[in-house]
Structure 1
């Protein structure tokens, strides 16, 4: 017990734990005919947080904020420049092979599947690579194939799959060995509405039934709203917010937009406060209201008083919310 640090005891319930983690990259830039300038880019800057076993946590921020760098350190692909990081008590960069059996990773913009082989061959390779017991492999494969609707795709070369089909195939591949934690980096990017719904439903069931810990990075707020009870916001490598999504909207004072199509052109809608009309174009009107508020009451009030053709709710731009938070912090 002599080698157990205080923070090991304090955070023993965290399945994932980062304490003051940093990642610095050295960048060389040409400044003259024979001259190059060397500078450091701090992608992750003193990051500290914990994720309990079985949690589903959204990890969001603008492009270049440090999200993917964090995921790569958590998987052992990158080594931290400073601080301390543990996943299931394991240092990922030192024991990457040991950790690989306990984690699953899906990168939305790149695949782990074999491009020229049928989808089923990638699964057979994972079976051998992870040394998954035969019965467990067949059970997990059957379950993934059924829930992700992959049956008709198993003999199709990966290069012939659509983006949505490939994404579902990647998620299945990441889960065949029953990982305890699943890292998802933009898992619904470029997917149609139907494919997104299938992926979200599967992830929700996975977390509920098996208690799989999920860390999700995404630009799609609906992913967060439908899957995660907790969200962390990172910008410039620093944690800016950690809490419920509603709290993020309150902090960033973000707004949702209700787009209303009326039967004919009318004066601006007399909307109940705090909603307000922000734009009118013919029979279409745009109303802004706090993102932390429910749209149900506003929709009901408008439907009762105006001739509706259609309406839709647009989510706030998360990058704008974070940019505002960052600007306010910088000016504080």
Structure 2
């Protein structure tokens, strides 16, 4: 078994730039979108980075591929393993196939069917665990030891974080004058990579993480100044349901983030509806959380244009339709009530 070594240097924007070179010709440079109707409605210029249209349907390919590219040929030949709620598992599977590397993924028993089918279609071995009671990390280490596999964490890895940072770096090359950048928080890798990219671009740019209020481990940890654990959370944003922030991302986020916003479950589904209505994007709940932060905390954000990273779009159709129907009905009722009052 091999666990990724953390170099005795601090991650900087240079690591993000090196990841961008490694990903050239591999990761899609995803669209950056704006909507005149939404800007008028919110009274703010908003730009959306549609990582839901990335290969594998989420930003996770960037970090997984960057980490695999850094392995020695001997380590790659032995194979890799990860634990994931789905998107990192799919990303590692696709990256491993590009390198002709065997991959195993430890995923929840209730993994959405769309993610399970995609992982299997790329030839990875799926090992399920019980989300609320299973010892996921212990299982990963056991399998890695038995089969000589290298563990590629979903967030707690410097090369994974640097790869995730290329999302924001691309956005900052194309959109000038952003005052705020919002990224979702699960293990914390995307937010940490985003903050690193921003730190090398414009020190005045403020980066906020956004996480479900039902899974607010990073928000609580930042408030007390150390990583703390919460009970296994339940949130519709299944990819962000972490009990504790990952160590390396937390150290970066503690240093560079302006803060972490928390959003309600209804706000997440309403964000999915906004993204469909204004941009035609089909987004999974976890992928819509940063946009939910924009809607819920708009008046508390710094003045000026806002960038939002829409991190993924791998959602089961029945789940998506049910959440969208509920959100649309709630939004229509709210608009009707507002019209009656006026």
Calculate the TM-score normalised by the size of structure 2: 0.27
Q: Normalized per residue, which structure has more helix?
A: 2
Calculate the TM-score normalised by the size of structure 1: 0.28
Q: Normalized per residue, which structure has more strand?
A: 1
With a CA cutoff of 8 Å and minimum separation of 6, indicate the structure with the bigger relative contact order: 2
